[in-house]
Amino acid sequence: MKHLFENVSINGTNYKLVTDSKITYKTTDGRLEKGISCSFDQLLMKPGKILFVEGLGSKSEDDFFEEMKQFIMRGATTILTIMTLHHERTFEQELNESICSLTKSPIDYVIGIRMDASNLTPEVIRKCARYHIPFVIAEFKTEESWNDIVLEWIIQANFPYRSVIIPDFSFLRTFPKDKVDQERLRLLCEAQLKGLDASFYQNIINKKELSPELMKRTGLYPMKGCLASGSDFDYNLYKQNSGNQVEEEQNLDYDGRDPIISGLRGELLKVNDNIMMKVGYGKHLNIHKPSFFTADHRNKIRSVRRSFGAWSVLNKLSR
């Protein structure tokens, strides 16, 4: 069923929307279809938040739903959840177990993997493409594992799907506190030169909302994370303070505030403190093409096609 909305304030501009589970029409001055419309006057609309989460699969059912309630209260409509993969041989089994543990999720989810870098092989990366896993955390537990790893074949196996491969230097916990930041910066620079997506490391450290750049790199954008025609109608509504609307929109720290209303694919998730917990309403998102909407995606594809076997070209993919 289509819904009509007027006076929808998005980034300081008032829009008119026609929606069902997706935004089918968006305009500033066009005319809506005939029907009963709803006005969002005095409200500010933002896209639903996408949160980075680890360890959901190991929680009990009560703890799982309690955490989901907290996510929904914060305005999350999608989560990027990480499963721990122990070995290439158990890839399918552990992935199925992770999917089964999330089938009751009330919000949408996409699955990534965390793996000991010593077990990360080209075949694991190829399976990520086969099963549409857009996010990989390579955990380096010792400094020797980082110094000894050869990444050329892994980077090559990552083409053309191009999952996000982020290094996690967990061995830095053993370093003196006054040297950790300097050493981390050096390692991240090395990782970037080796073709890993080291620039997104801070998202793992903070474990907050995904940045727009990471949403594009993982392929969640524009299906999620924006309010454009064709996107899922995932939204958060915030109260608009008195005063100039454009100024408020720019100054609104919505990341630190809970929305008064949240919706997922057009269906209400929460109104004030009341949560509409629809068990199993969340969908497992299949990401068919990570980084397709990044600015230089087309140029990178052309470069690799011209010389796919050349490491000098592959080394430039994440620069």
Q: How many CA atoms lie within 13 A of 317 on its CB side?
A: 32
Q: Is 271 exposed, middle or buried (0-12, 13-18, 19+ CB in 10 A)?
A: middle
Q: By C-alpha distance, which of 119, 178, 175, 179 is closest to 143? A: 175
pLDDT of the residue at 317: 46
Q: Return the structure tokens found at 145.
A: 């594992």
CATH: 3.40.50.2300, 3.20.20.80, 2.30.40.10, 3.40.50.150. Which one for 3-45+230-275?
A: 2.30.40.10
Decide if 76 contacts 53 (C-beta within 8 A).
no
Q: Is 25 exposed, middle or buried (0-12, 13-18, 19+ CB in 10 A)?
A: middle
Return d(Cα 255, Cα 239) in angstroms, integer: 14
CA 72 to the chain's CA centroid: 16
Amino acid in position 44: L
Q: By C-alpha distance, which of 206, 139, 125, 126 is closest to 172? A: 139
Encode pLDDT of 86-135 as tens digits: 999 999 999 999 999 999 999 999 999 999 999 999 999 999 999 999 99
Encode pLDDT of 15-35 as tens digits: 999 999 999 999 998 777 777
Decide if 78 contacts 108 (C-beta within 8 A).
yes
Q: By C-alpha distance, which of 110, 101, 40 is closest to 260? A: 40
Listed in sequence order, the DSSP H helices in the chain are 61-73, 91-101, 122-130, 143-148, 152-157, 177-193, 201-206, 212-218, 245-251, 297-306, 311-314
Strand order in the sheet with 164-169: 49-54, 76-85, 108-116, 135-140, 164-169
Decide if 198 contacts 169 (C-beta within 8 A).
no
Same topology, domains 3-45+230-275 and 49-220+287-314? Answer is no
Indicate the domain borders of the chain.
3-45+230-275, 49-220+287-314
Return d(Cα 109, Cα 77) in angstroms, integer: 9
Length of the chain equals 319
CATH code reported for the domain at 49-220+287-314: 3.20.20
Q: What is the pLDDT along the chain (319 residues), one digit of tens a residue?
A: 788 999 999 998 999 999 999 999 999 987 777 777 888 988 999 999 999 998 887 889 999 999 999 999 999 999 999 999 999 999 999 999 999 999 999 999 999 999 999 999 999 999 999 999 999 999 999 999 999 888 999 999 999 999 999 999 999 999 999 999 999 999 999 999 889 998 888 777 776 789 889 999 999 999 999 999 999 999 999 998 655 444 444 445 555 678 999 999 999 999 999 999 899 999 999 999 898 877 554 444 444 434 444 444 444 444 4
Decide if 30 contacts 36 (C-beta within 8 A).
no
Distances (CA, A) of 81 to 49, 120, 173, 207: 14, 19, 23, 11
**Global pTM?**
0.86
